[in-house]
């Protein structure tokens, strides 16, 4: 949407195409396909996708695929819209993944016992460990897409050097909600997406997951110094303008505990840690290549000064029945792919209506369960009620239904005992 100045008034040039959702196509290029240009690869993939009948967001390019020698997989943000889109309407991102596991970053203590503290895990993104994770997370209300857009806007403002005195931007995101809702996985997969979408600007993306519990020293007053050392290491990496640094602080309430809740009988080290963390965050806000993602299961325990610094405070709750349906269907589709479950309608893109209705009924019974619990239920269904290597979809849905009933009954029994 363009704004055209006409004297003292402002008119809007409303181009309907400008407000349609952008179709993003992410192409995981094979390491052996280095000779072909990005532009040529984009054309080949676009033509390939146009020929596909399926509208799946993730396309695995196996040996039977015509582009398998060039591409491992393709991810589409709006697969339904791609059918009518022109090549010029699509935003392509081409990337390769890092196959190395996380490195443990340690910091030295001053207590003389030679036991370095494992302060964080450090990945180079995009990383194989997080590949496809984004697509397996299901939330309602476009939560994932809104987070990605917001994060990209934060980085855009930073890279354009928008004056933070005019528009406050700390590049700090807080995801809060009950445990088991996928907040940590969402942060890691968000960092993976950002690394892909911004690889034209940054040559490297570093993800540091800070081990909050390790930053409390057994020696009085040492914890605040450990926080300083940890962030000093991170800031050294951020000195490279071609590197994007994403910091993940899981269960941030453990190092950003509300200072007004600290008893006078508790050690002041707790307050020092919070003060040190806030100081480091204030220093990082002027770094154009740093983004901080945090999670909390107890947002009421977080220091108000930290909460106030967060640009976005997003609640992540238990999945709705529709989201639960997609969580289950994703898991069952995986079992169909490996032939543990057989689908009589395997030539169709969607299940038959009977199977879909049954799964939705099961999903409605699961409202209030965490995503962590939901993803275990297909495994439990097979272990408890199937007892053979292969089963048809109808039988497996009955087993899943029984597994849900058993899980709910077991959970209720535990709650009564406590």
pLDDT tens sequence for the chain (418 residues): 333 333 333 333 434 344 445 899 999 999 888 889 999 999 999 999 998 877 788 888 887 788 999 999 999 998 888 888 999 999 999 999 999 999 998 887 765 556 778 889 999 999 999 999 999 999 987 899 999 999 999 999 999 999 999 999 999 999 999 999 999 999 999 999 999 999 999 999 999 999 887 776 555 567 788 888 889 999 999 999 999 999 999 999 988 988 887 655 555 677 888 999 999 999 999 999 999 999 999 999 999 999 999 999 999 999 999 999 999 999 999 999 899 999 876 655 556 788 999 999 999 999 999 999 999 999 999 999 998 999 999 999 999 999 999 999 999 888 887 6
- Contacts of residue 126, Cβ cutoff 8 Å, sequence gap at least 6: 95, 96, 97, 98, 192, 195, 196, 205
pTM assigned to the model = 0.88
Token pair of 354 as six digits: 């009977």
What pLDDT score was predicted for residue 16?
34
What pLDDT score was predicted for residue 213?
76
CATH 3.40.50.300 is the classification of domain 103-315:
yes
Among 373, 305, 379, 367, smallest CA distance to 340 is for 379
CA distance 408 to 416: 12
Distances (CA, A) of 46 to 59, 196, 315, 361: 12, 18, 36, 38
Report DSSP letters for 294-353, one per residue.
EEES-GGGB-HHHHHH-SEEEE--PPPHHHHHHHHHHHHHHHHHTTSEE-TTTTSSS--H
Q: What angle do CA 148, 65, 192 make, to 5 degrees?
A: 20
What pLDDT score was predicted for residue 64?
77
CB 306 within 8 A of CB 118: no
Integer Rg of the chain from CA: 24
What pLDDT score was predicted for residue 348?
53
What pLDDT score was predicted for residue 117?
81
Map out the domains of the chain as residue ranges. 16-95, 103-315, 321-417
CB 55 within 8 A of CB 83: yes
CB 376 within 8 A of CB 328: no
What pLDDT score was predicted for residue 6?
35
CA distance 253 to 383: 37
User: Which H or E run includes 236?
Assistant: helix 223-238
Phi-psi region at 339: left, alpha or beta (left = phi > 0; alpha = psi -120 to 50) = left
What pLDDT score was predicted for residue 12?
35
């Amino acid at each position: 949407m363009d704004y055209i100045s006409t004297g003292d008034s402002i008119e809007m040039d409303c181009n309907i195409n400008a407000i349609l959702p952008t179709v993003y196509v992410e192409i995981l290029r094979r390491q052996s396909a280095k000779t072909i240009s990005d532009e040529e690869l984009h054309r080949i993939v676009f033509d390939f996708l146009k020929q596909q009948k399926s509208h799946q967001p993730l396309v695995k390019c196996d040996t039977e695929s015509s582009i398998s020698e060039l591409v491992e997989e393709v991810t589409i943000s709006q697969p339904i819209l791609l059918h009518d889109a022109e090549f010029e309407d699509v935003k392509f991102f081409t990337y390769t993944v890092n196959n190395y596991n996380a490195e443990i970053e340690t910091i030295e203590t001053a207590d003389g016992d030679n036991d370095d503290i494992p302060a964080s895990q450090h990945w180079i993104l995009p990383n194989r460990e997080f590949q496809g994770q984004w697509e397996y997370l299901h939330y309602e209300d476009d939560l994932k897409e809104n987070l990605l857009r917001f994060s990209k806007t934060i980085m855009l403002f930073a890279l354009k050097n928008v004056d933070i005195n005019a528009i406050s931007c700390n590049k700090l995101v807080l995801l809060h909600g009950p445990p088991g809702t996928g907040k940590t996985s969402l942060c890691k997969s968000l960092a993976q997406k950002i690394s892909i979408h911004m690889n034209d600007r940054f040559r490297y993306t570093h993800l540091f997951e800070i081990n909050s519990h390790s930053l409390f020293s057994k020696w009085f007053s040492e914890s605040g110094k450990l926080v300083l050392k940890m962030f000093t290491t991170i800031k050294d990496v951020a000195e490279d303008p071609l590197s994007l640094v994403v910091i993940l602080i899981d269960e941030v309430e453990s190092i950003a505990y509300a200072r007004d809740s600290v008893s006078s009988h508790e050690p002041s080290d707790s307050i020092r840690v919070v003060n040190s963390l806030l100081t480091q965050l204030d220093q990082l806000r002027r770094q154009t290549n740093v983004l901080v993602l945090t999670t909390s299961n107890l947002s009421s325990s977080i220091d108000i000064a930290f909460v106030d610094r967060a640009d976005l405070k997003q609640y992540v709750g238990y999945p709705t029945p529709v989201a639960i349906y997609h969580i289950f269907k994703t898991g069952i589709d995986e079992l169909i792919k490996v032939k543990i479950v057989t689908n009589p309608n395997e030539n169709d893109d969607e299940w038959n209506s009977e199977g879909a209705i049954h799964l939705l009924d099961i999903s409605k019974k699961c409202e209030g369960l965490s995503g962590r619990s939901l993803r275990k239920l297909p495994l439990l269904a097979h272990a408890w009620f199937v007892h053979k290597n292969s089963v048809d979809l109808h039988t497996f849905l009955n087993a899943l239904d029984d597994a849900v009933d058993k899980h709910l009954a077991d959970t209720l029994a535990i709650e009564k005992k406590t």
